Amino acid sequence: MMKPDRERPCRIGTRGSPLALAQANEVRNHLATAHGLEPESFEIVVIRTTGDRVSDRPLRNLGGKGLFTKEIEEALLEGRIDCAVHSMKDVPVVQPKGLVINVCLQSEDVRDAFVSLFGGTLVEMPEGSTLGTSSLRRRAQALRRRPDINVVEFRGNVQTRLRKLESGVAKGTLLAMAGLRRLGLAGSARVVPMDVHDMLPAVGQGIIGLERREEDCDMAQFLDAVRHPDTEARMHAERAFLARLDGSCRTPIAGYGEVRDGRLRLTGEILRTDGSEAHAGTREGPVEDGPALGRDLAEALLAEAGPGFLAP
């Protein structure tokens, strides 16, 4: 059994939001249990990213998903941390040279939740109500179901968005059940989970991925103890789908893979930003064919939607 050097604890890099820290602690605890170590054998290193520093503008105007990973990955490449913890829905499909993500914990709840002060559902929002979200996917999916509502920009961590809701910035918002569960906030009467097929989640939603230096064989062995193969199969299929679509924060794309009995069923959706048009489909096959299924589904949706559908 491999253990971190006693003189240098395993250093886990993470963002500093309450949710990011909850995820880093979850990883630390899984690794400690798997290797018979004390949690104190690990050091959690908080790294502030560009996405954390700039909270008053939409991500799509700042450069997209990499804003939440760039500084952490730089620390990893420079050897200041030994591994990094990421929410996979925030990770660009192209990684920096020399880094790899091939270990995931078991996925949390993949669903979105509608959260409001009145405790109702998205369908029950009064006509003309304001919905707050910073996600183009959620904006498009909500407008497709409720074209009569207004959607406003709603950035910030989970607690910030809940405070904005309390202050009346919006009547309701959409949040990931995974984050709410990890923060112990999922039990509120104001949280209404949405069926995954009513609002297909973001690619990688609910998945914690562990990133390491490609040549670090010791860390590869160390992290391997907590891998969840079915979740990794889902992640690779979804990210292949996203990569073929050239997905970013500028495009409304949803994708969700389900693994059962050695087979993977992948559902994907692409939408216009105003929700006026959407195309969805599924592919199913052996788990090991997940990336090919993702690419094939993306090709089919692109052909169905026609040229320029995903143009910003």
pLDDT per position as a tens digit, 191-210: 999 999 899 999 999 999 99
Parse the chain into domains and list their residue ranges: 1-106+205-227, 112-193, 229-304
Residues 6 or more apart whose CB falls under 8 angstroms from that of 218 comprise 2
Selected from 3.30.870.10, 3.30.70.270, 3.40.50.300, 3.40.190.10, the CATH number assigned to the domain covering 112-193 reads: 3.40.190.10
Beta strand extents in 168-307 (DSSP E only): 172-176, 191-193, 208-213, 253-260, 263-271, 278-286
pTM of model > 0.85: yes
Q: Which residues are catalytic?
A: 90
Is the pLDDT reported for residue 5 higher than 90? no
Q: What is the pLDDT of residue 309?
A: 86
Closest CA to 211 of 309, 96, 133: 96
**Pairwise CA distance, residues 12 & 248, whole Å:** 26
The model's confidence at residue 249, banded by pLDDT at 50, 70 and 90, is low
Structure tokens at 102: 């091939």
Cβ 194 vs Cβ 172: under 8 Å: no
The model's confidence at residue 251, banded by pLDDT at 50, 70 and 90, is confident
Fold agreement between 1-106+205-227 and 112-193: yes
Mean pLDDT score, 113-121: 89
**DSSP secondary-structure letter at 91?**
S
Mean pLDDT score, 258-263: 95
Q: What is the pLDDT of residue 49?
A: 82
The model's confidence at residue 312, banded by pLDDT at 50, 70 and 90, is low
Instruction: Domain 229-304: state its class.
Output: alpha beta
**Pairwise CA distance, residues 37 & 52, whole Å:** 32
What pLDDT digit, counting tens, does each position of 85-98 carry? 999 998 999 889 99
What pLDDT digit, counting tens, does each position of 118-164 carry? 878 999 999 999 999 989 999 999 999 999 999 999 878 888 888 88
What pLDDT digit, counting tens, does each position of 12-47 carry? 999 999 999 999 999 999 999 999 999 999 999 999
* CATH architecture label of 1-106+205-227: 3-Layer(aba) Sandwich (3.40)
Structure tokens at 208: 């914690």
Beta strand extents in 48-166 (DSSP E only): 83-87, 99-104, 112-116, 130-132, 150-152
Q: How far apart are the first and last CA of the chain?
A: 50
